[in-house]
Amino acid sequence: MAPVNALWFSGGTLSVIDQRKLPGEKVVLELSEVRSAAEAIRNMTVRGAPTIGVAAAYAMVLAQTKDHLSANEAAEILRATRPTANDLFVGVETVRSAWEAGGDVLAAAEAYRASIVEQCHAIGVHGAPLISKGAHVLTHCNAGALATVEWGTALAPIRVAWHEGRSPHVWVDETRPLLQGSRLTAWELREEGIPHTILADNAAGLLMQRKRVDLVIVGADRITRSGDFANKIGTYEKAILAHEHGVPFYVAAPWSTFDPTLESGNDIPIEERGREEVLTFAGVSSAPADSAAWNPAFDVTPSRLVTGFITPEGVLRPEDVRRVLKRRSEGG
């Protein structure tokens, strides 16, 4: 099983692990109103597309039971937090629809959470056969249990392969500017005893050049009909490097990350965050204070660079994404 549960709902309170504090300390925050939950999403106390979606679903419950807002008022607050991850909007809409229909909002949120956990486990099962015994897998950012409630997306196949005795080794990109790889992914892997090595983001090319990467598996924040996808900034560079060196490049995601309303990566809104994340770390200046900084949180990778998408139903070729999304929308 995954070593951590990123969040849980009990006694009318949403409890979340403060991911900003890891790996130094494990702090659990208790959120009791929709605006505090929205701020936790905005400031990345809670992060990772599927976890954001589940947190938003529970925040809708708080909005009804504690804040006594309307469904649309609550949805507007949450949708304004972060624009790129599609899971956020799916989580909000799942509970909003139940609310408007007079249904049990907590049951809707719990069912959504269970679905995400089940899908991520299935991603692990379908993706594990891609990892041969002793394979070296490169990851970027954190797409583990912290980012998905349990199991992970990119880490799920690695976890399953590890428990099946295939002994994978994980190359962990540090992932600037907030170091989600070195802080969070490495922490998760260490908790489970999975061998890993942290590397600077700009060292991946040398690793591939020396044929020390067997495959790349990353998560995603939004995937379009064409198979173009958004993920943590730096993912596009890894995809280009993998393509150049003939290294298979896989994207792991639940269905909530796929956005059938968007045609291509050009349509994905890209969040830009504050300059202080680039100019400082942990409150310590790492650059001249008056320097300008650009801080896009995500980039877009075109489908032509993707070997396959690891989904809850199996591995899809990029050219199959449109057909499968159409079938799912039609209830097939």
Percentage of residues of the chain with pLDDT beyond 90: 95
pLDDT score for 288: 93
Does residue 218 sit in the same domain as residue 317? Answer: yes
Name the domain boundary from 119, 144, 161.
119
* The residue count for the chain: 332
Which pLDDT belongs to residue 330?
Answer: 86
- Catalytic position from the list 173, 221, 228, 299: 221
Phi, psi torsion values for 255, nearest 5 degrees? -65, -25
Q: What is the pTM of this model?
A: 0.96
Per-residue pLDDT reduced to its tens digit, 283-314: 889 999 899 999 999 999 999 999 999 999 99
Whether 115 and 126 share a structural domain: no
- At residue 332 the predicted structure's pLDDT band, cuts being 50, 70 and 90, is low
- The average confidence (pLDDT) of the chain is 96
Counting the structural domains of the chain, the total is 2
Nearest to 228 by CA among 183, 263, 182, 193: 263
* 3, pLDDT greater than 70: no
Q: Which residues, including other chains, have CB under 8 Å from residue 108's CB and lie 6 or more apart?
A: 57, 94, 95, 97, 98, 99
pLDDT band at 4 (very low <50, low <70, confident <90, very high): confident
SS3 329: helix
Domain containing 52 equals: 7-119
Task: Reply yes or no on whether 221 is catalytic.
Answer: yes
- On whether residue 49 sits in a domain, the answer given is yes
Domain termination residue (choose one: 119, 154, 175): 119
Residue 1 forms part of a structural domain? no
Inside any domain, residue 2:
no
Residue 175 forms part of a structural domain: yes
